[in-house]
Amino acid sequence: MPFENEHTLQKFITSKEEESFHDQYEQAIRDVKSDFGKQYPLIIGGTKIKTDSTFTHLSPIDTRIVLGYLPRSSVEDTRNAINAARDSFNRWRKQNYKKRIEICRAGANVLSRCKFELAAWLSYENGKNRYEAIGDVDEAIDFIRYYCECMETKEGYSTLTKSAYPAEASRSVMKPYGVWGVIAPFNFPAAILIGMSIGALITGNTIVLKPASDAPIIGYKFAEVMEEAGLPNGVLSLITGPGAQLGQEIIGNEHVAGIVFTGSKKVGYEMIRRFNKTKPRPIIAELGGKNPAIVTESADLDEAVQGISNAAFGYSGQKCSACSKVYVQKIVKTEFVEKLVKRSKSLQVGNPLEPSTFVGPLINVGAYKNYQRYTTLASRDGKLLVGGRINRSGDLKYGLFVEPTIVDGLPEGHRLLTDELFVPILCIIVYETLEDAIRLCNSSVYGLTAAIYTKKKKEIETFIESIESGVVYVNRALSATTGAMVGCQSFAGWKGSGTTGIGAGGSYYLTQFMQEQSQTFVSTK
């Protein structure tokens, strides 16, 4: 069956049933509340284990809401999870790939059935508004179905090759490595966590999954979904707790064959160094970004404003692909900035459970303090055009809400122009020639997403030819730099934004989880 993107909201809109979308989300919000404050177990080798030591998981919407108590796994728990994954590897790798596809597809179907419930959890866990939350769950479903399709199209990555000599028959077979550590970020607790997990599982590896501590419940729900879908015990073990401590054990354990990680450049780089200290092992790391958009004098400024503000302030700037810098050609700067400030002011900051909210809360107190530090720096070294304040009005005072912020006039090389901030701050930089703008974009240590708005064909060609980013968009009003769709826009980080140069949701992704074996058979008389 050909892969089709889940596209939930779009389908409700197309069939003129948008109201039903809202009803289902709101019902799910009411339903998940009855599960608040539960204690969650670890899952090791199929057994659910409650630990004495737990951490309290609060909602960034309102930190008085206790979403659950999650296990603070120990090093021993982590070791047990790795051993369980080792024990189940032989059985799982020998499973016909068609059976693995069948289980993963069943998982996608369960997720699709309970997507509103998951989206509601997601809103409470990491503060995404309903549209972003359902998009996150949709993307997870898409990853599963797309990777099933890749596996199927490639017939399990086994292919006949040329014969070297008349009596020989040869083939190439891709085989799994063994146990993989899957370490996920907070910002796409469904899509990225599930995409990485399925990448490892469908190719025959077994996994130890560690969700981010700021959004661990979706990870637990996924483990339950896969159990329901028929994944054998031990193939997926789930641990939660402090990343540094558990990560240390995953990275240092000689029985871990590979790691798939999405997170910050700092944590990723250190992980790569330590994981390969004693022997080379595969590590797929998708890292941060500092994503630019270029607005030329020929651009449709309304489209550029819409795309750039959506990309900069969607999910409060907490996407790896968030637009954080705009290079605008001098002649159109005043008009563009006026329009951009006007639209940014109109974006509603508020409780993400409300349908009209665009900008929800920041994920945690660390991010909240970072925002305050950065905006202080912005007003000291540049000019704040809009925003710059935390929002403590009404019930928002119980959460971590801040205003979308635009800064102008920072000097070249300023840290707000070079560092990934991961809060809703967008910097404006003026340029004279396109070559200058591209040179400045490319001076970044990151190379994840980038955009251009122009009506000139030659400028599009120059941009595409020279920009150093894994994902590029031209004249996209929907969003300048965010919103890649699985199977359509593979998501690869260049330079400091990733380690393999291969994109999630693209046709090369699965090969990273396997090693090639060339098999030659000589016919005997």
Q: Which spans of this chain sit near ligand NAD (rule: CB under 6 A)? A: 183-188, 192, 210, 212-213, 243-244, 247, 262-264, 267, 271, 286-289, 320, 420, 422, 448, 491, 493, 497-498
In contact, 470 and 491? CB cutoff 8 Å: yes
Q: How far apart are CA 220 and CA 200, in angstroms?
A: 17
Contacts of 157 (CB under 8 A, 6+ apart): 151, 173, 174, 203, 510, 511, 514
- Token pair belonging to 470: 């894994």
| Closest distance to ligand NAD from the beta carbon of 322 (Å) | 8
* Three-state DSSP state, 160: strand
In contact, 229 and 34? CB cutoff 8 Å: no
Select 149 or 286, whichever has its Cβ closest to ligand NAD. 286
| Closest distance to ligand NAD from the beta carbon of 445 (Å) | 12
Single-letter amino acid code for the residue at 437: A
* Three-state DSSP state, 15: coil
Q: How far is CA 236 from CA 189, 209, 401, in A?
A: 16, 7, 36
What one-character-per-residue DSSP string does 176-205 give?
E-SEEEEE--SSSTTHHHHHHHHHHHHTT-
Residue from 199, 214, 178, 30 nearest 93 by CA: 178
In contact, 498 and 287? CB cutoff 8 Å: yes
CA atoms within 13 A on the CB side of 290: 19
Q: Is 412 a catalytic residue?
A: no
In contact, 98 and 86? CB cutoff 8 Å: no
| Closest distance to ligand NAD from the beta carbon of 11 (Å) | 25
| Closest distance to ligand NAD from the beta carbon of 187 (Å) | 5
* Three-state DSSP state, 83: helix
| Closest distance to ligand NAD from the beta carbon of 373 (Å) | 16
Select 135 or 350, whichever has its Cβ closest to ligand NAD. 135
Q: Is 286 a catalytic residue?
A: yes
CA atoms within 13 A on the CB side of 265: 18
* Three-state DSSP state, 287: coil
Select 215 or 299, whichever has its Cβ closest to ligand NAD. 215
Q: What secondary structure letter does DSSP report for 121? A: H
| Closest distance to ligand NAD from the beta carbon of 393 (Å) | 27
Residue, CB closest to ligand NAD: 247
- Token match 């019902």: residue? 27
The residue from 104, 148, 150, 320 that is catalytic is 320
| Closest distance to ligand NAD from the beta carbon of 507 (Å) | 17
Select 422 or 473, whichever has its Cβ closest to ligand NAD. 422
- Per the document, the length of the chain is 525
Q: How far apart are CA 26 and CA 352, in angstroms?
A: 12
Q: How far apart are CA 395 and CA 388, in angstroms?
A: 20
- Which residues belong to the active site? 286, 320
